[in-house]
Amino acid sequence: MKRLISLLFCLVCIYAKTCCDDGWIGYKGSCYLFGHGLHTFTTAEQYCRQRNGHLVHVNTAEENTFLTDQMRDRKDRAWWLGITDEGSEGVWYWFDTNTLAEFTDFHPGDGGPHIIEDCAVYDPSVAYQWVDISCEKQAYLPLCEARSSDCTDAVVVG
């Protein structure tokens, strides 16, 4: 009986893990939205904020792989990352937390001290590695991330 109860509880937990708004995809405590429209960095970030998120903040290689797998299913499109080296050339900070990027996946030759390229996108032409680019270029899609809602915490209890 105890096992049955815990099984039922776990089913609830698994369901709870994907607590994301419609259209968002859940993965390990975050929700992701592959948005629409061609944006600059600033308007892409606004797009995400209007939906209670921010441009994607990639914490780990695992998260990056999850995202690039998703992108491969969405044709050859390029997506903004929430990252900038505006403050110090070649030193990349996450825009949502203003913290140094410990994980990056720049294509070789990209991500260096390029003065007019202070933002970055996932580029399908280089297998979705990151390419630095002008923040003003109105040519890329918004990829948003938000924390999944509190019900995820129930997983820890289980």
Residues that bind Ca ion (CB under 5 A): 57, 59, 85, 114, 117-118
98 Rama sector, left if φ>0, alpha if ψ -120 to 50, beta otherwise: left
| 39 vs 57, beta carbon nearer Ca ion | 57
Min dist CB 106 to Ca ion, Å, is 11
| 6 vs 42, beta carbon nearer Ca ion | 42
- Cα distance between residue 86 and residue 104, in whole Å: 16
Please name the residues in contact with 64: beta carbons below 8 A apart, sequence gap of 6 or more. Answer: 58, 103, 105
Min dist CB 59 to Ca ion, Å, is 4
- Cα distance between residue 102 and residue 158, in whole Å: 31
Min dist CB 148 to Ca ion, Å, is 11
| 18 vs 59, beta carbon nearer Ca ion | 59
